[in-house]
Amino acid sequence: MPTITTNDLKTGITLELDNGLFQVVEFQHVKPGKGGAFVRTKLRNVKSGNVFDRTFNAGIKIEQAIINREDMNFLYRDGDDYVFMNNDTYEQMHVAPVALGDATDYMIEGMTAQVAFFNGEIIGVEIAASVELTIAETEPGVQGDRVSGARKPATLETGKVVQVPLFIETGEKIRVDTRSGEYMTRV
């Protein structure tokens, strides 16, 4: 396990602290007029997603976690689990929905995702910032109903419900932002 000092902190690196794995969301070096310098950080718990503040004295040593990321193909669902295949070795693995988080709302068969591993255990899955999905069901748009910016609910092929403009109809493909869950454009 490589050891780094608080002076080497960068946004996005993962730390192994005494109570789990944490990703640095933001950090700030502070040098007050009196007393020693310190580093104020915002850390996100990799497993739970909770974000909290933590302060470290400047220059102390902390453990950096080595995270391996692999591109994998989502094949199908097997019960509750999601089955992925490594693009290089063709090895298949079952992933619990807990490790996927919100990505489950946007995953369709054949999609490529980046799976993050720590000590052989899956700690997270990242998908593209936007995905193209088909509308499985939505109310038809009413002729003459042209209120500017009006929205209606639409169910995607994955089961996720998003708000779309009135002109979108069942069977159309749309692009959805996976970070906010919002409609972007018709494809």
Residue keyed to tokens 């052989």: 120
Which is more confidently placed, 119 or 146?
Answer: 119
pLDDT of residue 144: 60
Mean pLDDT of 161-186: 90
pLDDT of residue 84: 92
Does residue 85 have a pLDDT over 90?
A: yes
Domains of the chain, each with CATH number or no CATH: 3-64 (2.30.30.30), 68-126 (2.40.50.140), 130-186 (2.40.50.140)
Q: Which DSSP string do the residues of 72-122 spell out, in sequence order?
A: EEEEEEETTEEEEEETTT--EEEE-HHHHGGGGGT--TT-EEEEEEETTEE
Does residue 49 have a pLDDT over 80?
A: no
Does residue 145 have a pLDDT over 80?
A: no
Q: What is the mean pLDDT of the chain?
A: 87
Helix (H) or strand (E) holding 17: strand 14-17
Least confident of 85-89, 120-124, 183-187: 120-124
Report how far residue 178's alpha carbon sits from residue 175's, in angstroms, rounded to the nearest whole number.
9
Report how far residue 21's alpha carbon sits from residue 13's, in angstroms, rounded to the nearest whole number.
10
pLDDT above 90: percentage of residues in the chain? 33
Helix (H, G, I), strand (E, B) or coil at 129: coil
Give pTM, 2 decimals.
0.71
Mean pLDDT of 168-183: 90
